Amino acid sequence: MLEVESLTVTTGNFALSDISLSIPEGECHAVLGPSGSGKSTLLHAILGVLPPVRGCIRINGEDITYQPIERRGLGYLPQQIGLFPNLTVRENILYSPRARGVQPSQYRPLLDMLIEATGIGGLLDRLPHTLSGGERQRVGLVRALASQPRVVLLDEPFAALNESLRRELWWLVRKLQQNHKITILLVTHNLIEAYVLASKISVLMEGRIRQTGDKISVYRRPALRSIARFLGINNLWDGIVTAREGDRLIIDCPALGISPQLAAGNDPPALHSRVTVGILAEQVALRDADHPPKPGEHLLTGCINLTDLGPRWVLQFRPQNSEVVLEIHLGRRVVEHFGLFDGKSGVTVGLPNQALFWMRND
């Protein structure tokens, strides 16, 4: 288990403030954040490259906050792999276990399995400069895992690769992590990467963790408007809390002309507070005579613009007499079934009340 408790780190004019994380043994946790949010600074502090101002870092209950880098038992895979240029692939991947004094009988079985799983058996006698980008990443991954580290740190290692190769390596890492119960802390700005590899995520913005939780719940119920924006949620509108009835809030949303009743949650805003109301693009429903609205849906009628993205269509829906634009994601079959075309008017959509959510403004 990796535990980070109230960690504060400064580098130049930037500060990583009061960071707390807990990653159970054998799980992958992703820290998501935009460029400059402090993701790499967090990993450098855990590695021991940057000393903390305060706070504590523990692995399996052992305080490693001020231990030397080589004694922390960490594997590290950065975006720029940094293989030793004068060593062969074989010598590169053997360097870490040998440097740590691990006996061959301890690392050989795992190393042989990793070489087979990553398909680098034919590269062992080559030098790094002869490898492609994908091959270097595979070698770097094996090197990071070869000494059986207690925790593996991944610092956006696949960001420079093309999409197909990146996805191929995601599935490889996921398979290795799940089969061998490897504890991984991944930092990335790529939402899909985080959701493929991790079970839980934390959102890091401006040096602070803004939200942590199960990856599905964070996506479906972001805590702040800025988090929703970062996660690619565009259907966001200003709202005002006008009343509370039991565990429900009534929120007036003038832009849409609706006043949904939404779950108050554990820390509800005060009456007359300004909040943000949102809905995921994939949860907006099309309605017609054959697909009537369900109880509690908020109906809007307007015109659409269509954009074909290959596996899915993106609709921009404009309600009548409104400047609002809703983003809707639909599969190709749904678009064909409803007979949608670019510029079509008289289209009705439903906003399921249970799909709407509120969040605090920043």
Segment 259-318, tens digit of pLDDT: 999 999 888 999 999 999 999 999 999 999 999 999 989 999 999 999 998 888 999 999
Terminal CA-CA length for the chain? 32
- The tokens describing 77, both together, are 């895979």
With both helix axes pointing from N to C terminus, report the angle between 104-118 and 133-146 in degrees, rounded to the nearest 10: 150
Answer whether 353's CB lies under 8 Å from 284's CB. no
Res 101: pLDDT: 80
Q: Write down the pTM of the prediction.
A: 0.89
C-alpha 265: how far from chain center: 23
Answer whether 204's CB lies under 8 Å from 39's CB. yes
Asked if residue 79 has pLDDT above 90, the reply is no
Res 157: pLDDT: 85
- The tokens describing 134, both together, are 């994908």
Answer whether 75's CB lies under 8 Å from 151's CB. yes
Res 358: pLDDT: 97
Q: What contacts 315, CB < 8 A, 6 or more positions away?
A: 304, 305, 306, 307, 326, 327, 328, 329, 330, 340
Answer whether 1's CB lies under 8 Å from 150's CB. no
Asked if residue 123 has pLDDT above 80, the reply is yes
Segment 261-275, tens digit of pLDDT: 999 988 899 999 999
Answer whether 302's CB lies under 8 Å from 319's CB. yes
Query: b vs e for 100-138, b when ≥16 Cβ sit within 10 Å of the residue's Cβ?
Result: eebeeeebeebbeebbebbebeebeeebbeebeebbbbb
Q: Return left, alpha or beta for 266; rule: phi > 0 is left, psi -120 to 50 is alpha, else beta.
A: alpha
Confidence of residue 98 (pLDDT cuts 50, 70, 90): confident
Residue 58 main-chain phi, psi, to 5 deg = -130, 145
Q: What SS3 string covers 137-169?
A: HHHHHHHHHHCCCCEEEEECCCCCCCHHHHHHH
Task: Identify any residues that bridge with 243 across adjacent strands, giving them in sequence order.
Answer: 250
Confidence of residue 161 (pLDDT cuts 50, 70, 90): confident
